[in-house]
């Protein structure tokens, strides 16, 4: 991509938007989903650890690292629900992909937009073996920054055509409906979460408040639905009533992290769950029958960011949609870093006073 290994390609927000639009949002989501599924299928190749989190009263700042012995990736991400009151994003992020053999970064990129894309793509990857056969209608409860990405991922990968939207803020629902107009959906805006789930085959919850919330109560969830629980993603933050969990077959990314952050933080530490990689490799069953309630307790895991980083690394080749960052010191003699500093003070050809 770039011959000088000391120069790191950086994908800015502007370049990421141009890359997504150049590829096409639905194609981007579909290809990214394929990368995510591929990496889940080689689950044992990765170093895995729960994300490193620093919690405060206002939110959380996290690092999400992983490696497959060839490449190392990490994401820096925050979650601050109060930010929207000041016109700021709830979630922002950036990421780095490095070559394990040298330790040199090979990509640095914004990941606020990319995280929204990979989260939606992961939800759809999980839903393919878990959602009821022939699902066409999805309720989205919480119509903030993630909602449109979820809708388009489920359209591209599962054929969802009907959306039932609800948010406690009607302006958020209006925004979501407006952004998705003309994109192949039949859209119904609803006055309550109860109304939104009526007739839905898939229920996506993607709210932002950092609290033990009950977005779905037990009586709202009928037999046969798939629940895509996205919003509960840190300690003390849930969306589903505990009784729903007890009626559902629960699927997770990485149990040691999900038990801390996901809906299952409400359950005993040894409560049985199935890992997504097991379903995708055929080691475990997904949906078994038409009346089964399946729940993907999504919190986001580092391998998904790794997949997104490697996908972007490959897609920017030949596009010019990146900047060259002079990030790594490159002395003529690797051991002479101080000499490099001195030569910067007296560049070649300079005449002494």
Same domain, 161 and 272: yes
The secondary structure of 174-191 as a DSSP string is: HHHHHHHTTSS-EEEE-S
Blockwise average pLDDT, block size 10, the chain, 353 residues: 73 98 98 98 97 90 96 95 88 96 96 97 98 98 96 98 97 98 98 97 87 87 97 82 97 96 95 98 97 97 98 97 93 91 77 52
Please indicate, yes or no, if residue 339 is contained in any of the structural domains.
no
**DSSP label of 350:** P
Which residue among the candidates 233, 243, 305, 330 is catalytic per the annotation?
A: 233
- The pLDDT value given to residue 210: 63
Number of domains in the chain: 2
Same domain, 157 and 99: no
> In this structure, what CATH number is given to the domain that contains residue 97?
3.30.1780.10
Please indicate, yes or no, if residue 337 is contained in any of the structural domains.
no
Contact 94, 73 (CB under 8 A): no
Please indicate, yes or no, if residue 343 is contained in any of the structural domains.
no
Same domain, 12 and 104: yes
Same domain, 292 and 310: no
- The pLDDT value given to residue 348: 64
Backbone angles phi, psi at 135, to 5 degrees: -60, 130
Same domain, 241 and 310: no
Cα within 13 Å of Cα(278), Cβ side: 14
Same domain, 157 and 289: yes
Please indicate, yes or no, if residue 334 is contained in any of the structural domains.
no
Residue 103, token pair as written in the block? 């330790």
Same domain, 51 and 180: no
Same domain, 75 and 210: no
Same domain, 96 and 195: no
Contact 207, 176 (CB under 8 A): no
Please indicate, yes or no, if residue 200 is contained in any of the structural domains.
yes
Same domain, 59 and 132: no
Question: Please, which residues have CB within 8 angstroms of residue 89's CB and are 6 or more apart in sequence?
Answer: 83, 112, 145
Question: Please, which residues have CB within 8 angstroms of residue 111's CB and are 6 or more apart in sequence?
Answer: 75, 76, 77, 93, 94, 95, 305, 308
Instruction: Please give the residue range of the domain that contains residue 86.
Output: 7-113+304-329
| Cα angle 229, 233, 234; round to 5 | 150
Residue 233 known to be catalytic: yes
Helix (H, G, I), strand (E, B) or coil at 204: strand
- The pLDDT value given to residue 4: 62
Please indicate, yes or no, if residue 83 is contained in any of the structural domains.
yes
Please indicate, yes or no, if residue 138 is contained in any of the structural domains.
yes
- The pLDDT value given to residue 209: 66
Same domain, 45 and 191: no
> In this structure, what CATH number is given to the domain that contains residue 134?
3.40.50.720
Same domain, 88 and 206: no
Backbone angles phi, psi at 97, to 5 degrees: -115, 130
- The pLDDT value given to residue 5: 67
- pTM for the model stands at 0.93
Residue 191, token pair as written in the block? 């006055």
Measure CA of the first residue to CA of the last residue in the chain; give whole Å. 43
Distances (CA, A) of 159 to 146, 289, 312: 19, 20, 25
For β-strands 202-205 and 137-141, DSSP reports them as parallel
């Amino acid at each position: 991509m770039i011959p000088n290994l000391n120069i790191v390609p950086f994908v800015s927000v502007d370049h990421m938007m141009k890359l997504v639009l150049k590829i096409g949002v639905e194609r981007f989501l579909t290809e990214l989903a394929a990368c995510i599924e591929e990496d889940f299928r080689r689950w044992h190749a990765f170093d895995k650890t729960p994300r490193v989190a620093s919690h405060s009263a206002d939110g959380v700042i996290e690092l999400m690292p992983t490696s497959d012995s060839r490449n190392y990736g990490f994401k820096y991400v925050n979650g601050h629900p109060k930010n929207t009151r000041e016109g700021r994003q709830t979630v922002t992020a950036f990421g780095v992909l490095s070559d394990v053999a040298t330790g040199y970064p090979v990509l640095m990129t914004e990941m606020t937009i990319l995280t929204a894309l990979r989260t939606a793509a992961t939800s759809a990857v999980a839903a393919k073996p878990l959602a009821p056969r022939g699902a066409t209608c999805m309720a989205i409860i919480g119509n903030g920054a993630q909602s449109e990405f979820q809708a388009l991922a489920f359209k591209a990968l599962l054929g969802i055509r009907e959306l039932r939207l609800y948010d406690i803020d009607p302006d958020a629902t209006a925004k979501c409906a407006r952004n998705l107009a003309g994109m192949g959906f039949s859209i119904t805006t609803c006055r309550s979460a109860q109304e939104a789930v009526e007739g839905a085959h898939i229920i996506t919850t993607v709210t932002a408040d950092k609290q033990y919330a009950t977005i779905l109560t037990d009586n709202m969830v009928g037999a046969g639905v798939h629940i895509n629980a996205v919003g509960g993603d840190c300690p003390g933050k849930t969306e589903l009533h505990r009784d729903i969990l007890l009626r559902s077959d629960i699927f997770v990314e990485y149990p040691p992290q999900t038990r801390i952050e996901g809906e299952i933080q409400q359950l005993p530490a040894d409560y049985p769950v199935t890992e997504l990689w097991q379903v995708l490799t055929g080691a475990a069953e997904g949906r078994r029958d038409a009346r089964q309630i399946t729940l993907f307790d999504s919190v986001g895991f580092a391998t998904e960011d790794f997949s997104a980083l490697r996908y972007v690394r490959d897609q920017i080749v030949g596009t010019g949609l990146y900047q060259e960052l002079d990030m790594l010191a490159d002395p003529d003699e690797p051991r002479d870093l101080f000499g490099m500093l001195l030569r910067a003070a007296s560049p070649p050809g300079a005449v002494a006073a």
